[in-house]
Structure 1
Amino acid sequence: MKNMSLEKIAQACGGVYHGSEEMKQSIVESITTDSRQAAKGCLFVAIPGERVDGHDFIPSVFEKGALAVLSEKELANPAGPYIQVASSLEAVKGIAEYYRQQLDIKVVGITGSVGKTSTKEVIASVLAQKYNVLKTLGNFNNELGLPLTVFRLRDEHQIAVLEMGISHFGEMHRLAKVARPDICVITNIGQCHLEFLKDRDGILRAKTEIFDFLKEDGCIILNGDDDKLDTIEEVKGIKPIFFGVEGQRPVYADEIESLGLSGIACTIHADGESIRVTVPIPGGHMVLNALAATAVGRALGLTMQEIKAGIEALEPVGGRFHIINHGDIQIIDDCYNANPVSMKASLDVLRDAKGRKVAILGDMGELGENEEQMHAEVGYHAAKNKIDLLICTGKISSHMAEAAMANGGCGEVLQVPTMEALLTCLPSLIQSGDTVLVKASHFMHFEKVVKKLQEI
Structure 2
Amino acid sequence: MLCDIAKPSIGVVTNIGTVHAERAGSQEIIAKGKAELVESLPSDGTAILNYDDPWVRAMAEKTRANIFYYGLDPNAHLWADEIEGLGLQGIRFRLHFQNEQLHIRVPLIGRHSVHTALRAAAVGLVDDLSWQEIIYGLQQGHSQLRLAAVSSQSGALILDDTYNASPDSVMAALNLLDELQGNKCAVLGDMLELGPYEQQGHQMIGVRAAQVVNRLITVGEKAKIIAESANQAGLSSNAITSVPTVPEAIQVLLGTLNQKDVVLIKGSHGLHMEQIVNALEVNS
Q: TM-score normalised to the size of structure 1?
A: 0.59
1:298 correspondence with 2:113: no
**Of 308, 314, 337, the match for 2:135:** 308
Q: 1:394 aligns with which of 220, 230, 238?
A: 220
Inter-partner Cα distance in structure 2 for 1:238 and 1:203: 21
Partners of 1:309 and 1:175 in 2: CA distance = 32
Letter in 2 for 1:276: H
Structure with more of its chain in helix, by fraction: 2
Letter in 2 for 1:289: T
Aligned CA RMSD, in angstroms, stands at 1.8
In the TM superposition, 1:395-410 aligns within 5 A as 395-409=221-235
- Equivalent in the alignment of 1:448: 275
Tell me the distance in 1 between the aligned counterparts of 2:195 and 2:75: 36
Q: Is the 8 A contact 1:222 1:240 kept in 2?
A: yes
1:41-94 residue CA offsets vs partner (Å, 9 max, x unmatched)? xxxxxxxxxxxxxxxxxxxxxxxxxxxxxxxxxxxxxxxxxxxxxxxxxxxxxx
Matched-pair contact (CA < 8 Å) for 1:184–1:219 = yes
| Contact 2:11-2:37 at 8 Å conserved across structures | yes
Residue pair 2:41, 2:64 contacting (<8 A) in 1 also = no
Structure 1 gap segments, 5+ residues each: 1-173
Determine which structure has more spread, i.e. the larger CA radius of gyration.
1
When the two structures are aligned, how many residues end up with a matched partner?
A: 281
Query: Equivalent pairs: percent with the same residue?
Result: 36
Q: Which moved more, 1:321-330 or 1:276-285?
A: 321-330
The CA distance in 2 between the partners of 1:436 and 1:299, in whole Å, is 40
The answer to whether the Cα contact below 8 Å between 1:256 and 1:266 also exists between their aligned partners in 2 is yes
* Closer/same/farther in 2, CA of residues 274 and 325 from structure 1, 3 Å limit: farther
TM-score (norm 2): 0.93
> What is residue 198 of structure 2 aligned with on the other side?
371
2:194 pairs with 1:361 = no
Code of the residue aligned with 2:100 in structure 1: it is E
**Following the alignment from structure 1 to structure 2, what is the Cα–Cα distance between the partners of residues 445 and 297?**
35
Tell me how far apart the structure 2 counterparts of residues 334 and 222 of structure 1 sit (CA, whole Å): 26
Q: Which residue of structure 2 lines up, in the alignment, with residue 101 of structure 1?
A: none
Amino acid at match of 1:195: E
- Distance of aligned partners of 1:329 and 1:322 in 2 relative to their CA distance in 1, 3 Å threshold: same
Match of 1:423 among 240, 244, 250: 250
Segment drifting more, 344-353 vs 237-246: 237-246
Q: Quick one: distance in 2 between partners of 1:256 and 1:202?
A: 32
Counterpart residue identity of residue 313, structure 1: Q
- Bigger relative contact order, structure 1 or 2, given CA contacts below 8 A and separation 6+? 2
2:166 to 311, 336, 339: 339
- Partners of 2:277 and 2:152 lie apart in 1 by 11
- CA distance, structure 2, for counterparts of residue 401 and residue 409 of structure 1: 9
